[in-house]
Amino acid sequence: MRGELAVARRDGDALTAFTGVQVAGVLDALYAEAADGVDLGAVYGDGGIDFRVWAPTARAATLLTWGPGAAGDPARHEATWDADSGVWSVAGDGSLDGAEYLWELEVFSPSSGEIELNAVTDPYSVALTLNSTRSVAVDLDDPAFRPETWEETPAPVVDRAVDQAIYELHIRDFSIGDASVPAEERGTYRAFTREGAGRAQLRELADAGITTVHLLPSFDIATIEEDRTLQQQPDCDLASMAPDSEEQQACVAAVADTDGFNWGYDPFHYTVPEGSYAVDADGGARVAEFREMVGALHEDGLQVVLDQVFNHTAQSGQGRSRCSIAWCPATTTA
């Protein structure tokens, strides 16, 4: 099945026509039952780490690992194929805790019509390096990533759904202009934990009857530069212009693709907090900061709802390369 993504018609030895097939239903029929319940990603247990990825159309899979922050060529770990579930896996030991990694997959690409060798991040990642260039193996049960406020403050309970009063909030917008928050924390998860003007207002809203904060997409966004020092700012005095003026719109539009703002509906990794909202985006640090935010909101009497839309994708097919800046494989055709 792997790589057989077309139906062909022949006249003797001559290929006369072929068509692609919709493989999703076929893959589900072949693999879904056995794959159900299999933990995917970097899975911790009994002193070791199992790396697993569901890639039933791949012809070969290799796990590539680096030490934290390392450059150069990776260590290579050949993966084992499970024909029942469609899962490729590598059994690793405790030395791979904190490792940065990619999956190298040999797979037919319908968009190119070729067999491609791609180095990709783990779609089941829970942690990433800056700008999502590599996945990072972290144990979410590690106390280093479980801040006290998050651990010890239970989520408020609203007994009846009809009693919910929900306030929608963009994480960056909440504090990016709040001078009462330290400059390096404006626009970040950590701003929710500071005694700033925004947090004071949220407490007032909670006292007035708001029960829940609905956070606009907070998971890894494909098109934001996560190094906050490289984000561009409008090069004009916006306050001197009318909010609906063409001049203001033009100034903002000039840096729209390189600034720090995005609604977040072009997700890249669905299970990793967005790095541009973190003071430290590397590895499990952004997870800890995200949990600090959630704990602070709970502490202020507010439930938290996360906006997450799985049918949104930023790209398809080969897309643009997001393999490691320090290392990319040669793409080969077979």
Q: What is the CATH number of the domain that holds 89?
A: 2.60.40.10
What is the pLDDT at residue 25?
Answer: 87
What is the pLDDT at residue 334?
Answer: 30
Residues 148 and 296 grouped into a single domain: yes
DSSP 39-65: --EEEEETTEEEEEEE-TTEEEEEEEE
Residue 333 within a domain: no
Residues 156 and 295 grouped into a single domain: yes
pLDDT by 10-residue block (mean), the chain, 334 residues: 56 79 85 96 94 96 97 96 97 95 93 89 97 97 97 95 96 96 97 97 97 96 93 91 91 92 92 97 97 98 93 78 44 35
Ramachandran class of 307: left when φ > 0, alpha when ψ lies in -120 to 50, beta otherwise: beta
Task: Write phi, then psi, for 263 (nearest 5 degrees).
Answer: -65, -25
Residues 164 and 282 grouped into a single domain: yes
- Given a contact cutoff of 8 angstroms between Cβ atoms, the answer to whether 92 and 50 are in contact is yes
Residues 171 and 106 grouped into a single domain: no
Residue 328 within a domain: no
Residues 153 and 20 grouped into a single domain: no
What is the pLDDT at residue 15?
Answer: 80
What is the pLDDT at residue 319?
Answer: 72
Q: Which residue type sits at 2?
A: R
Segments forming the whole domain that contains residue 39: 6-124
pTM: predicted TM-score of the whole model, two decimal places: 0.88
Residues 36 and 98 grouped into a single domain: yes
* Cα–Cα dist 251/172, whole Å: 20
What is the pLDDT at residue 100?
Answer: 98
What is the pLDDT at residue 7?
Answer: 62
What is the pLDDT at residue 320?
Answer: 60
Place of tokens 């904060």: 213
Residues 105 and 160 grouped into a single domain: no
Residues 165 and 294 grouped into a single domain: yes
What is the pLDDT at residue 327?
Answer: 47
Residue 327 within a domain: no
Residues 193 and 95 grouped into a single domain: no
Residues 87 and 151 grouped into a single domain: no
What is the pLDDT at residue 325?
Answer: 38
DSSP state of 278: -
